C-alpha cells in the first residue's frame, strides 16, 4: 500500500499547552490585574503593562555553578526541581508628577517541561493528567415534556442557570414561568433580569412577547430600578439588598476580572444562539437570545444538547489547569500590593519592588505541582505503564466531576469517542469510564477538542488527502471504519458499514465521504501493543 501516515507525537499536547501558558497566558493574567491603585488615594499605581501596552517577562536558566540543576538528569540526582527564574518588568506611576519608574522583579521559579511531557519536581518525575470537562458555552436540555433547562458555563465565573416550567393544565390562570438563577442568588423571572440590564420593556415585548404568550407566561412590566431591587432582594434571605445589591449582582457578569466566557466560550455561544458579539462578558443581548432559544424549545424550534458527546467536552491541559490554580493567587497578590500602597501613600516610594509581594504567585505554582490531584508521580514500572500514564485523561480533579455524583450515562461509551478515546482500556470500580486513555492517532486541537484523522473518499476512490475531524464534524460526513475492504484504493461494495454522528447504517461506496486511517486508531497505545 503506497499510503503511509506518521503516528503523532504522543507528548505534543502537554508541551504545547504549557508553552502557551508560559508565552501567552502569563501576560494575559498580569494585564487583567493592572493597574493596581489604593482605594483611598490614587497618587501611586502599580502596573505590569509597559508604555507600549504589553506585559514584558522572560525566563532565565540558572548558571552551571549556581548549585541549581540545569537539566532533568541533574535534578533527579540532586533531588531538586528543574526550573528557571521568571523575571518581569514592573512599573510604578506617580499620577501627580507623571513620573514612571521601572524595575525588573523576580517573580518565581517556574518548572521546566521535559521533551517527554513530564516535570522533575523534588527529584521525582511527575505527569499532569489531561482533564476532560464540559467546554464553556450554553447547553439546553429537557427533564420532561413540560420542563426545559439551560446552563451557561464560563471560562472564569460561576455558571448561570435558566429554567422553563410549563403549565400542563389548561386553567384560566397559568403557573408557567421562565426564570434565571444568577450566581449566589435565588431564581428571578427572566424578563426581570433583562429589564435590570437596561433592556426596554417594549423591546422585550417585541422580541419575546409572542413566545411568552404561546407558552402562557405572564410578562410583568417593571422599571429598571424595580427590577434591580428584586434581584437585590434575591441575594439577601431577609429581603434586604435593594437596587444597589442588584447592581452588584449584575456587575459580576460584566466585570472582566470576575467573569469571562473566554474566546472558546464566546465563539460557542455565538454559534449556538446566532449572535455576533465580541466581548467575553455577558450582555443583555446574550441573555435575551438564550431566553428566546429556551422559549422556542417546546415549540420545536432549536434542539437539545447531548452533554455526554465529546462535541461538548474538551480537554484541559497543564496550561489550562495551571491557569485556574494561579488566577486566585494573583487576586491575593493584588490585595497585598493595595494594602502596601495604602500604608505608604504619604511617603515617597523608591522602587516598585518595595511594594511587590510575589509570594502568593510563587506559592500557587509550588502548590500546584506538589499537591494538585491532576499532578501525579509518573508510573515507571516499565516503559508501557509510563507511556500509558502520560496518555491518561480524567474527568475528576478541581473544577471537574465529583466521583460520587458521576452518572452511569457519563461513564458509558459514546459514538463520538470512536478514534478519540480508547474504547477498551479503562479501570474497573468507581473510576470506570471516568478515567480513560487517548486513542493512538488522537490529536488535541488549540481549543482542547479531540480530533481524529480520516482519508477523503471521492466517488468510492480513497485518496491520500488526510483531514482531522472534531466531534462536531462527525455529523457532517459519512464515515467508513478503517477495516473497510479496499482494493487498489477502491472501496469494495456493494454496501459498506458507515456512521454519521450517532447514527450507524450501511451505504454504497459512492456515498462514503471519509474512511479511517488504521484499525489500531480505535484503541490506545498500551492496548494496541497487546498481541
Q: Does position 219 have pLDDT exceeding 90, yes or no?
A: no
For residue 487, give the CATH number of its domain: 2.30.150.10
Same domain? For 57 and 116 the reply is yes
**Is the bond into 385 cis (omega within 30 degrees of 0)?**
no
In angstroms, rounded to a whole number, what is the distance separating the alpha carbons of residues 296 and 300?
7
In angstroms, rounded to a whole number, what is the distance separating the alpha carbons of residues 166 and 174?
9
Total number of domains in the chain: 3
Contact 317, 13 (CB under 8 A): yes
Same domain? For 469 and 369 the reply is no
Same domain? For 149 and 282 the reply is yes
- What counts of helices (H) and strands (E) characterise the chain? 14, 26
In angstroms, rounded to a whole number, what is the distance separating the alpha carbons of residues 264 and 56?
25
In angstroms, rounded to a whole number, what is the distance separating the alpha carbons of residues 264 and 280?
9
Q: Calculate mean pLDDT across residues 177-194.
A: 88
For residue 48, give the CATH number of its domain: 3.90.1100.10
pLDDT band at 346 (very low <50, low <70, confident <90, very high): low
Average pLDDT, whole number, for the chain? 90
Same domain? For 448 and 336 the reply is no
In which domain, by residue range, is 123 found? 12-131+316-387
- Which residue did the predictor score with more confidence, 379 or 307? 379
pLDDT tens track for 87-123: 999 999 888 888 889 999 999 999 999 999 999 999 9
pLDDT tens track for 139-150: 999 988 889 999
Same domain? For 321 and 299 the reply is no
392 belongs to a structural domain = no
Report yes or no on whether pTM surpasses 0.85.
yes
In angstroms, rounded to a whole number, what is the distance separating the alpha carbons of residues 122 and 69?
11
490 belongs to a structural domain = yes
- DSSP class of residue 221 equals -
In DSSP terms, 134 is beta-bridged to 313
Same domain? For 331 and 455 the reply is no
Same domain? For 277 and 151 the reply is yes
pLDDT recorded at residue 240: 57
396 belongs to a structural domain = no
222 belongs to a structural domain = yes
Cell, residue 73 = 538528569
**What SS3 class is residue 343?**
helix
**What SS3 class is residue 514?**
strand
Q: DSSP H helical segments within 11-147, as ranges?
A: 12-20, 26-32, 72-78
Cell, residue 454 = 480520516
For residue 141, give the CATH number of its domain: 3.90.1110.10
Query: Where does a domain end: 312, 329, 348?
Result: 312
Same domain? For 251 and 348 the reply is no
Same domain? For 148 and 296 the reply is yes
pLDDT tens track for 353-409: 888 989 999 999 999 999 999 999 999 999 889 999 999 999 999 988 888 888 888
pLDDT tens track for 41-89: 778 889 999 999 999 999 999 999 999 999 999 999 999 999 999 999 9
Looking at the chain, the whole-number percentage of residues with pLDDT higher than 70 is 97
Q: How many CA atoms lie within 13 A of 265 on its CB side?
A: 22
pLDDT tens track for 456-511: 999 999 999 999 999 999 999 999 999 999 998 999 989 999 999 899 999 999 99
Same domain? For 271 and 160 the reply is yes
- Unique residue bearing C-alpha cell 436540555: 141
pLDDT band at 38 (very low <50, low <70, confident <90, very high): confident
Q: Does position 315 have pLDDT exceeding 90, yes or no?
A: yes
Same domain? For 489 and 354 the reply is no
Q: Does position 235 have pLDDT exceeding 70, yes or no?
A: no
pLDDT recorded at residue 470: 94
Q: Does position 1 have pLDDT exceeding 70, yes or no?
A: no
523 belongs to a structural domain = yes
Amino acid at each position: 500500500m503506497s499510503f503511509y501516515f506518521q503516528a503523532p507525537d504522543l507528548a505534543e499536547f502537554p508541551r504545547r499547552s504549557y508553552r502557551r501558558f508560559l508565552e501567552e497566558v502569563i501576560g494575559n493574567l498580569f494585564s487583567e490585574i493592572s493597574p493596581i491603585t489604593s482605594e483611598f488615594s490614587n497618587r501611586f499605581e502599580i502596573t505590569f503593562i509597559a508604555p507600549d501596552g504589553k506585559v514584558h517577562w522572560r525566563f532565565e536558566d540558572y548558571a552551571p555553578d549556581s548549585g541549581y540543576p540545569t537539566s532533568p538528569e541533574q535534578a533527579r540526582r540532586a533531588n531538586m526541581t528543574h526550573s528557571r527564574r521568571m523575571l518581569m518588568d514592573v512599573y510604578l506611576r506617580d499620577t501627580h508628577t507623571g513620573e514612571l519608574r521601572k524595575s525588573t522583579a523576580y517573580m518565581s521559579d517556574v518548572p521546566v517541561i521535559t521533551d517527554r511531557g513530564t516535570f522533575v519536581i523534588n527529584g521525582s518525575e511527575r505527569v499532569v493528567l489531561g482533564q476532560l470537562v464540559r467546554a464553556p458555552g450554553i447547553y439546553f436540555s429537557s427533564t420532561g415534556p413540560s420542563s426545559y433547562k439551560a446552563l451557561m458555563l464560563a471560562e472564569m465565573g460561576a455558571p448561570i442557570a435558566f429554567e422553563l416550567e410549563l403549565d400542563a393544565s389548561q386553567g384560566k390562570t397559568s403557573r408557567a414561568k421562565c426564570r434565571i438563577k444568577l450566581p449566589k442568588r435565588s431564581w428571578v423571572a427572566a424578563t426581570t433580569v433583562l429589564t435590570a440590564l437596561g433592556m426596554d420593556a417594549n423591546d422585550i415585548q417585541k422580541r419575546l412577547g409572542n413566545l411568552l404568550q404561546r407558552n402562557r407566561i405572564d410578562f410583568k412590566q417593571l422599571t429598571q430600578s424595580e427590577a434591580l431591587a428584586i434581584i437585590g432582594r434575591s441575594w439577601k434571605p431577609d429581603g434586604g439588598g435593594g437596587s444597589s445589591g442588584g447592581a452588584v449582582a449584575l456587575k459580576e457578569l460584566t466585570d472582566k476580572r470576575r467573569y469571562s466566557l473566554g474566546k472558546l466560550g464566546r465563539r460557542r455561544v455565538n454559534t449556538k444562539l446566532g449572535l455576533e458579539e465580541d466581548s467575553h462578558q455577558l450582555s443583555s443581548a446574550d441573555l435575551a437570545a438564550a431566553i428566546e432559544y429556551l422559549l422556542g424549545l417546546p415549540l420545536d424550534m432549536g434542539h437539545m444538547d447531548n452533554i455526554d458527546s465529546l462535541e461538548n467536552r474538551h480537554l484541559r491541559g497543564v496550561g489550562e489547569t495551571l491557569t485556574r490554580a494561579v488566577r486566585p493567587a494573583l487576586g491575593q497578590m493584588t490585595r497585598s500590593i493595595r494594602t502596601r500602597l495604602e500604608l505608604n501613600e504619604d511617603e515617597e516610594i523608591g522602587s516598585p519592588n518595595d511594594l511587590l509581594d510575589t509570594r502568593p504567585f510563587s506559592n500557587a505554582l509550588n502548590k500546584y505541582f506538589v499537591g494538585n490531584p491532576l499532578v501525579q508521580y509518573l508510573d515507571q514500572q516499565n516503559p508501557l505503564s509510563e507511556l500509558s500514564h502520560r496518555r491518561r485523561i480524567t474527568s475528576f480533579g478541581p473544577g471537574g466531576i465529583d466521583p460520587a455524583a458521576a452518572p452511569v450515562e457519563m461513564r458509558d461509551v459514546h459514538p463520538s469517542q470512536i478514534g478519540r478515546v480508547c474504547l477498551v482500556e479503562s479501570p474497573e470500580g468507581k473510576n470506570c469510564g471516568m478515567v480513560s486513555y487517548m486513542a493512538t492517532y488522537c490529536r488535541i486541537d488549540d481549543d482542547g477538542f479531540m480530533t481524529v484523522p480520516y482519508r477523503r473518499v471521492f466517488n468510492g476512490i480513497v485518496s491520500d488527502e488526510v483531514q482531522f475531524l472534531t466531534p462536531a464534524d462527525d455529523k457532517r460526513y459519512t464515515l467508513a471504519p478503517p477495516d473497510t475492504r479496499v482494493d487498489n484504493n477502491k472501496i469494495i461494495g456493494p454496501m459498506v458499514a458507515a456512521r454519521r454522528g450517532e447514527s450507524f447504517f450501511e451505504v454504497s461506496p459512492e456515498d462514503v465521504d471519509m474512511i479511517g486511517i488504521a484499525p489500531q486508531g480505535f484503541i490506545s497505545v498500551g492496548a494496541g501493543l497487546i498481541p
